[in-house]
Amino acid sequence: MSAPACIRALPLLAGLLLAACGDAAPPPPAPVAPSPQRAPAPPVADTETVIAHYDCPTAGEIDIIRDGRFARLRMVDGRTVHLGAIQGSRPPVWSEVGLRFVADGDFIELSQDSGRTIACTASADMAERDTPED
């Protein structure tokens, strides 16, 4: 290599050496502690009058509320769905997209549009409330 070429390469070499000897790479960011999972919210006290209560195994519980205008389905996974009454239906039917609830005497059923149906039963504690005391 000629002297002028060596002289021109010196700044490049010096820059590489300085870069190699420079400050160490910045420390990695501190690990962020995972945010704690929220505990499920405590159930909100219902002040609505429940006029009928049904148990639907594997699906949840249904309360008939607001003078029969709505059926509140509390699913086993914690979700709540409100089904609106279909006015003038006989037997009484409550429906929401994909769900339908029918209560006609001993025939009580929750069904899904997918074809799955679940037989439900009137809750014993509601029957006791409706029974007049002697």
Neighbour-count burial of 59, counting CB atoms closer than 10 A to its CB (0-12 exposed, 13-18 middle, 19+ buried): buried
DSSP SS3 for 100: strand
Domain boundaries of the chain, sorted by first residue: 50-122
Tokens read off for 106 = 């001993």
Residue 127 phi/psi, 5-degree rounding, is: -65, -40
Give 98-111 pLDDT, tens digit per residue: 999 999 999 999 99
* Fold assignment, 50-122: Lipocalin (2.40.128)
Give 8-63 pLDDT, tens digit per residue: 666 666 565 555 555 556 666 666 666 566 555 555 555 689 999 999 999 999 99
CB–CB of 117/102 below 8 Å? no
The pTM (predicted TM-score) of the whole model is 0.59
**Is the model's pLDDT at 133 over the cut of 50?**
no
Neighbours of 42 (CB within 10 A): 6
